[in-house]
Structure 1
Amino acid sequence: MSLVAILTLAAAPMPDGAALDAAIARRDAALFYAAFEGCDADALSGYIADDFRMVHDLAGLAVPDKAAMIEGTRERCAARLPGGAQEGYANRRLFVPGSRRVQRLGDWGALEEGHHTFHERRADGTWELTGGARYIHVWQWTGEEFVLSESISVDHGAAAPYPPAAD
């Protein structure tokens, strides 16, 4: 049997319908946890395709490739350690429930669109909402799992005042 035939047999079919939505939601949550709150560049590496890039409304081509994403995460995480320039800093990204839309891209992957908010931990242990954005992700199916191929991050802004002003 040829290597191609063996690899074809080993590859699982890409999820569809509710299973696709659940798989993307799971990968999205794990990716952002590794990048933000978990601050784990090694884990993050497993969620990103080799040809990854990130385009950002405020920075343009913010991350040109996977190596830059992983190295940037390592540097940010190291700065949070004791003696680092941002010792003790912590932030998190939270998905906005109900905002996710997933669309299948043939058998190659999926497009995910959604909104998220960003939070920073304060000295008293509480989390403060610091902003939000919309994101568009292109996820590639590997035959086993989805990896993030491209991230487009737009509509960044300050956190809306809370409670909202009365009309």
Structure 2
Amino acid sequence: MGFRHKIAAGTAVFFLSATAGAGGLPEGPALNRMVETLDADFFALFFQGCDPDRLATMLTPDFEMYHDKDGEVARSAAPFVASYAQRCATRQAPDAWRSRRELIPGSMTVHPIGTIGVLEQGEHFFYERRGDGPETKVGRARFTQLWRLEADGWKLARIFSYDHEPVK
């Protein structure tokens, strides 16, 4: 089912090996590059990939997601990953809707949250196509995500996805 009809809300992010130095979080441009990598890896997996086991490693157990159109999407990682796995199976059909997300250049901001992680904010476009058909830009939204630095790397803890609007 396409974006206009309803993108299955969700987002999760891949953990990257902790690149923090002895003092904690990376700083300045290194922090921005790290978050850009986390962001790109998560969204590529979520919208275009299909690897529930990998998705599970990207989320904190208490992962939560909220969406302006769908409300409360997730209150923990396990059911979110199970829903993603079902979507993966559905997307295998030759005429299934396929979606892609693109970060709007220059829209991302990153804010350290003490020593626990970072808050990422930005805007993105959504594209969709049916099967192997032509891709169309269909939507735009804002997002806020909390990335938490855990013992085994960076994990996505919270997502707020809002201000969704169609693009003509």
Pick the TM interval, shorter chain.
0.7 to 0.9
Whole-angstrom distance in 1 between the partners of 2:110 and 2:124 = 15
User: Structure 1 residue 38: deviation in Å?
Assistant: 1.2
Mapping of 1:55-70 within 5 angstroms? 55-70=66-81
Superposed CA offset, 1:5-61 (max 9, x none)? xxxxxx963212111111111011111111101132222222211110001111221
Whole-angstrom distance in 2 between the partners of 1:87 and 1:76 = 14
Mapping of 1:106-125 within 5 angstroms? 106-122=114-130, 125=133
Q: 1:124 to 1:69 in 2, by over 3 A?
A: closer
The match for 1:153 is: 161
Superposed CA offset, 1:67-86 (max 9, x none)? 1210111000101224xxx8
The match for 1:136 is: 144
Larger radius of gyration: 1
User: Structure 1 residue 87: deviation in Å?
Assistant: 4.6
Whole-angstrom distance in 1 between the partners of 2:150 and 2:29 = 19
Contact (CA 8 Å) 2:95, 2:131: kept in 1 or not? no
Contact (CA 8 Å) 2:100, 2:126: kept in 1 or not? yes
Percent identity (aligned)? 35
Whole-angstrom distance in 1 between the partners of 2:164 and 2:136 = 16
Q: Indicate which of 18, 31, 37 corresponds to 1:20.
A: 31
The match for 2:41 is: 30
Q: Indicate which of 82, 88, 91 corresponds to 1:77.
A: 88
Contact (CA 8 Å) 2:118, 2:146: kept in 1 or not? yes
User: RMSD in angstroms over aligned alpha carbons?
Assistant: 1.9
Whole-angstrom distance in 2 between the partners of 1:102 and 1:113 = 7
Contact (CA 8 Å) 1:56, 1:153: kept in 2 or not? yes
Whole-angstrom distance in 1 between the partners of 2:130 and 2:165 = 20
Superposed CA offset, 1:98-140 (max 9, x none)? 0000000111100000001111124564311111110000110
1:69 aligned partner, one-letter code: F
Instruction: Mark the runs of 5 or more structure 1 residues left unpaired by the alignment.
Output: 1-10, 162-167
Contact (CA 8 Å) 2:109, 2:120: kept in 1 or not? yes
Higher relative contact order (CA 8 A, sep 6+): 2
- In the alignment, is residue 48 of structure 1 matched against residue 56 of structure 2? no
Mapping of 1:1-12 within 5 angstroms? none
Contact (CA 8 Å) 1:139, 1:147: kept in 2 or not? yes
Whole-angstrom distance in 2 between the partners of 1:27 and 1:149 = 13
Contact (CA 8 Å) 1:14, 1:143: kept in 2 or not? no
1:40 aligned partner, one-letter code: D
